Structure 1
Amino acid sequence: MPLYERRTYQVRVGQMPELTALYREKAWPVIQAAGLAKHCVGYFITDTGALHQLVHIWRFEDDAERRNFWEKLLGIDAFPLVEIRSLLVSQENQLMRGADWGPVV
């Protein structure tokens, strides 16, 4: 059964436009060029509840594939990791498996 990783970034207040531009113009093109976009379920920006959050969900066949993915992505010099981190207050990662009933993407 696939493994999903939910990453929630708490963005500094007022910095969401800068972060989304950074993803649009730099981070996402690097992810696509590296052939890693196939793992992305989606990116989401919170609108209610805890605000100023960027949530992204990734799908992997297992933990080894997940670890290889992050090692590869974070090893690419063009990926703007330092710029992204400078806009965050905190980060939370959660690993999830689909329940054995109902739909799973």
Structure 2
Amino acid sequence: MIIDLRTYTMVPGRLKAFLELYEREGLPVQRKHQGDPIGYFVTEIGTNNQVVHMWGYESLGDREKRRAALDADPEWIAYRAKSGAAGNVQHQENKILKSVSFSPM
């Protein structure tokens, strides 16, 4: 199993708007192609204005296939255009995590 760990740093004051738009328009499309996220969080202590989410995949090939289907979905394309135009995200960081032999996942 691999985990796609993403951290978005929001423009100050835009976190609520990002989450509302994503929950309403982005998440349903993403679930259609990727299933449920492992977790979706906001920072409480540490760097402020961050959204952290994790998606699980069987392999890099599985991730590539499901992401390609998502990226080709007209609903996702429309959501991404709307989200980008809203100017909510200041910075994005992605990490691919690979579990070790003794990991419970």
Structure with greater helix share of residues: 2
Where does structure 1 differ by over 3 angstroms across 4 or more consecutive aligned residues? none
Is 1:89–2:90 an aligned residue pair?
A: yes
Judge conservation of contact 1:9–1:88 (CA < 8 Å) in 2.
yes
**1:61 pairs with one of 55, 58, 62:** 58
Residue 71 of structure 2 aligns with which residue? 74
TM-score, normalised by the number of residues in structure 1? 0.87
Cα distance, 1:102 vs. partner?
A: 3.9
Judge conservation of contact 2:33–2:66 (CA < 8 Å) in 1.
no
Q: How many residues align?
A: 101
Cα distance, 1:49 vs. partner?
A: 0.6
Identity %: 24
TM-score, normalised by the number of residues in structure 2? 0.87
Cα distance 1:35–1:67, how it changes in 2: closer, same or farther (>3 A)? closer
Aligned letter for 1:101?
F
Question: Where do 5+ consecutive residues of structure 1 fail to align?
Answer: none
Question: Where do 5+ consecutive residues of structure 2 fail to align?
Answer: none
